[in-house]
Amino acid sequence: MTVHHHPPDEFLAAFAAGVLDLGQHIAVATHLVGCARCRAAVRAIEHVGGAVLAGLPPSAMSDGSLEALQRRLDEPVRVADAPARPRARGFTDVPGLPSLLDGYPGSSWKWIAPKVHLRPIRLAEPSATRVFLLKSGPGTKMIDHTHTGFEMTCVLSGSFVHAGGHFGPGDFDFGDGSVDHDVTIDSAEDCICLVAMQGDLKLNGLIGRLLQPLIRM
Ligand SMILES: [Zn+2]
């Protein structure tokens, strides 16, 4: 897989620092599954961060912390009664997703427009970013739209094209209110993407404005 479009460096740095919200984290993690270049970049950033931490002067422990630690060591270890739950894999039919989605509850494809289906991913904790899978059939022209927030798109299979370039498997696309998205699916097979999005879609043009009340993503 040749990856042509990568997340901006600040996203990779924020991913390495663990400061992205869960929805954004999942989008970058999905890109990393298919991109050795960005995996290496994240490792390098983590290495630098670790070196900075190692270079900090040691700070004194508070009074009594050693005694408290020794008391904890004397406490009996509690063993959970319940057997470990088998890992449910809700998205096994969609290759290219990061292992952190293992065990997430599955969902089914919902029709949202002709040849376009959406599969929500219910996050394990509250996040301002919604995450879903989007499947669009060959030749689909997504209605011309902009965003009130931002949209991160990771291509898992198939491909699409818009004014910003051609996006195939492994590619990462970032859009916000400044980008006018006139997207066409140009692969012979379905194009499946993982999308992380804040805000709403704003459909452009007369048809878009007529359809706006009917489409909720
Ligand atoms: Zn990359």
Strand ranges (E), 37-129 = 110-113, 116-120
CA distances for 92 relative to 44, 89, 98, 148, 182, angstroms? 31, 6, 11, 32, 30
Cα 164 to middle of ligand 1, angstroms: 16
Nearest by Cα to 175 from 186, 163, 184? 163
Question: Which of the pair, 183 or 57, is modelled with greater confidence?
Answer: 183
Nearest by Cα to 172 from 1, 4, 49, 6? 6
Cα 10 to middle of ligand 1, angstroms: 13
Cα 188 to middle of ligand 1, angstroms: 24
For residue range 123-137, list pLDDT tens digits in order. Answer: 988 888 999 999 999
Question: Which of the pair, 183 or 119, is modelled with greater confidence?
Answer: 119
Percent of the chain with pLDDT over 90: 46
Tell me the residue range of the domain where 114 lies. 1-56+97-217
Is there a domain that residue 65 lies in?
no
Percent of the chain with pLDDT over 70: 69
C-alpha to C-alpha distance for 203 and 141, rounded to whole angstroms: 13
Q: How many domains does the chain have?
A: 1
- Looking up residue 45, the CATH number of its domain turns out to be 2.60.120.10
At 79 the pLDDT is 46
CA distances for 117 relative to 94, 105, 133, 145, 155, angstroms? 14, 18, 8, 17, 15
At 170 the pLDDT is 96
Is there a domain that residue 40 lies in?
yes
For residue range 169-198, list pLDDT tens digits in order. Answer: 999 999 876 666 678 999 999 999 999 998
Cα 163 to middle of ligand 1, angstroms: 20
Is there a domain that residue 126 lies in?
yes
Cα 29 to middle of ligand 1, angstroms: 10
C-alpha to C-alpha distance for 135 and 118, rounded to whole angstroms: 6
At 80 the pLDDT is 47
For residue range 84-112, list pLDDT tens digits in order. Answer: 444 455 787 898 999 888 888 889 999 98
Cα 124 to middle of ligand 1, angstroms: 25
Is there a domain that residue 217 lies in?
yes
